[in-house]
Amino acid sequence: MKSVVFHNDPMILRNQFARDGTFEMPVIKKAKLDLDNIELIGYDKLSEGQKEKIVHFFLDDYKFEVLWKDPEPRVEKLKEYRAILSPQFSVYTETPVAVQIHRVFKSRWCGAHFQSKGLKVIPSLVWGEADTFWFSFDGIDEGSVVAVSTVGMRTEKQLFMAGYKEMLRRIKPKAIICYGEPFEEMEGKLIVVDYAATDNLNQEKTLLSRL
The residue ranges of every structural domain in the chain are: 3-210
120 touches 147 (CB < 8 A): no
| Residue-wise burial string across 61-95, b where 16 or more C-beta atoms lie within 10 A, e elsewhere | eeebeebbeebeebeeebeebbbbbbbbbebeeee
Cα–Cα distances in angstroms (integers) from residue 90 to residues 33, 117, 126, 159, in the given order: 25, 24, 8, 15
pTM above 0.85, yes or no: yes
Rama region for 19: left / alpha / beta (φ>0; ψ in -120 to 50; rest): beta
Strands 54-56 and 83-85: parallel
66 touches 94 (CB < 8 A): no
Residuewise pLDDT in 10s, the chain (211 residues): 566 655 678 888 999 999 999 999 999 999 999 999 999 999 999 977 789 999 999 999 999 999 999 999 999 999 999 999 999 999 999 999 999 999 999 999 999 999 999 999 999 999 999 999 999 999 999 999 999 999 989 899 999 999 999 999 999 999 999 999 999 999 999 999 988 877 654 444 433 333 4
Quote the DSSP letter at residue 112: H
Please say whether the dihedral angle defined by the alpha carbons of residues 71, 77, 83 and 89, taken in this order, is positive or negative: negative
* Rounded distance between C-alpha atoms, residue 57 and residue 161, angstroms: 21
Cα–Cα distances in angstroms (integers) from residue 62 to residues 54, 65, 70, 88, 119, in the given order: 20, 5, 13, 11, 22
Strands 190-193 and 54-56: unpaired
* Rounded distance between C-alpha atoms, residue 180 and residue 1, angstroms: 46
Task: Return the H-helix or E-strand segment holding 160.
Answer: helix 157-171
* Rounded distance between C-alpha atoms, residue 7 and residue 2, angstroms: 9
- Among residues 140, 103, 104, which one has the least CA distance to residue 123? 140
